[in-house]
């Protein structure tokens, strides 16, 4: 399971399947479709990342984070690294949500100690009026090339997840010019010039639809929309500026491709209070952060959607016994029902001891089989 044309066998669980006959392990996809599974599948947000020494070595070789993202071979390499260590049930494309606004000409760069920044944030009506959907294949071809290379390298071992940021989350970075403590600039626009905000969201929605469908066509077998900042909105604004646009995306995605179903997941961090509304937009799975009890969430949505989550990422700093206990708590809360994909409630911390991840993955598999 190596990039660049090399292959090796992946020692994963072999599960019979009719829908995905080329997959040795389709447990993740069947769980998203609320079908019976032998155990609860598990993958982790940011599972390829700085907590792994091998990732840090590859990133150093790349010279920068953007170089790493824009090299299909290196993106493939780091995507596969956590699968070589752990018995994870899915791979997720290594990329960044800000590749889309970068392709729109905003000039993405990463300042040391500051995180992502844009050279040309959207601050005036003229710039917003000129915003256009990028040509995915010319401007973001490095991403679809990475998807194709990863899919070949996986060789049917586990499914590959593609992803994008939500329109509202992307707009936050596009208007603020980077991260923010209070999102004052984007909220000022939202309340004072909602027409400009909707213009940004409209163009970004079209871009995300094209981007995710291109990932599916390149080989992604499921897709996820990350709405990292939707949870900081008031309820009415969440429905207007975030959820309605995600609903349009889900409706426009390929539901099947190359003879297989392509399930979708929507994750709004801090969105547990809107769970029923999110479940109504047509996605197959809803991601939960760690602040929502997953058992109560299942009772609220019934069998309408699968649920993904939702261990506190900080619990991975506990003892092996504590990690196992927390994992079992999440599994027991959900109960012996179809439709659970185990994950963290947000991305894994860069400081997480790698050996603790193995405790988590092994516990999820062994406890859920019981």
Known catalytic residues are: 46, 50, 59, 96, 173
Q: What is the 3-state secondary structure (H, E, C) of the chain?
A: CCCCCCCCCCCCCCCCCCCCCCCCCCHHHHHHCCCCCCCCCECCCCCCCCCCHHHHHHHHHHCCHHHHHHCHHHHHHHHHHHHHHCCCCCEECCCCCCHHHHHHHHCEEEECCCEEEECCCCCCHHHHHHCCCCCHHHHCHHHHHHHHHHHHHHCCCCCEEEEEECHHHHHHHHHHCECCCCCHHHHHHHHHCHHHHHHHHHHHHHHHHHHHHHHHHHCCCEEEEEECCHHHCCHHHHHHHHHHHHHHHHHHCCCEECCEECCEEEEECCCHHHHHHHHCCCCCEEECCCCCCHHHHHHHHCCCCEEECCECHHHHHCCHHHHHHHHHHHHHHHCCCCCEEECECCCCCCCCCHHHHHHHHHHHHHHHHC
CB atoms within 10 A of CB 261: 17
d(CA 118, CA 175): 9
């Amino acid at each position: 399971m190596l990039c660049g044309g090399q292959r090796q066998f992946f020692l994963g669980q072999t599960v019979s399947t009719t829908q995905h006959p080329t997959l040795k392990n389709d447990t993740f996809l069947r769980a998203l479709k609320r079908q019976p599974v032998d155990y609860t599948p598990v993958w982790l947000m940011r599972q390829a990342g700085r907590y792994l020494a091998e990732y840090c070595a590859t990133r150093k070789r790349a010279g920068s984070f953007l170089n790493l993202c824009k090299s299909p071979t290196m993106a493939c390499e780091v995507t596969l690294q956590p699968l070589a260590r752990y018995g994870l049930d899915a791979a997720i494309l290594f990329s960044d949500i800000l590749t889309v606004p970068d392709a729109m000409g905003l000039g993405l760069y990463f300042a040391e100690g500051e995180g992502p920044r844009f050279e040309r944030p959207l601050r005036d009506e003229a710039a917003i009026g000129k915003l256009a959907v990028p040509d995915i294949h010319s401007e973001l071809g490095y991403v679809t090339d990475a998807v194709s290379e990863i899919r070949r390298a996986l060789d049917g071992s586990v499914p590959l997840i593609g992803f994008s940021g939500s329109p509202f989350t992307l707009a936050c970075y596009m208007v603020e010019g980077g991260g923010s403590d209070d999102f004052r600039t984007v909220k000022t626009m939202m309340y004072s010039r909602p027409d400009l905000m909707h213009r940004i969201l409209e163009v970004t929605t079209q871009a995300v639809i094209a981007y995710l469908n291109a990932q599916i066509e390149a080989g992604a077998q499921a897709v996820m929309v990350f709405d990292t900042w939707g949870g900081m909105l008031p309820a009415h604004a969440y429905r207007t500026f975030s959820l309605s646009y995600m609903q349009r995306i889900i409706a426009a995605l390929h539901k099947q491709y190359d003879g297989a179903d392509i399930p979708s997941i929507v994750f709004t961090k801090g969105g547990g209070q809107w769970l029923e509304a999110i479940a109504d937009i047509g996605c197959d799975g809803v991601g939960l952060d760690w602040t929502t009890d997953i058992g109560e969430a299942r009772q609220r949505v019934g069998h309408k959607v699968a649920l993904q989550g939702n261990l506190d990422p900080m619990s991975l700093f506990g003892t092996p016994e504590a990690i196992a206990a927390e994992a079992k708590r999440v599994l027991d809360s959900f109960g012996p029902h179809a439709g659970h994909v185990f994950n963290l409630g947000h991305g894994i911390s860069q400081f997480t001891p790698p050996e603790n991840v193995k405790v988590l993955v092994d516990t999820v598999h062994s406890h859920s089989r019981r």
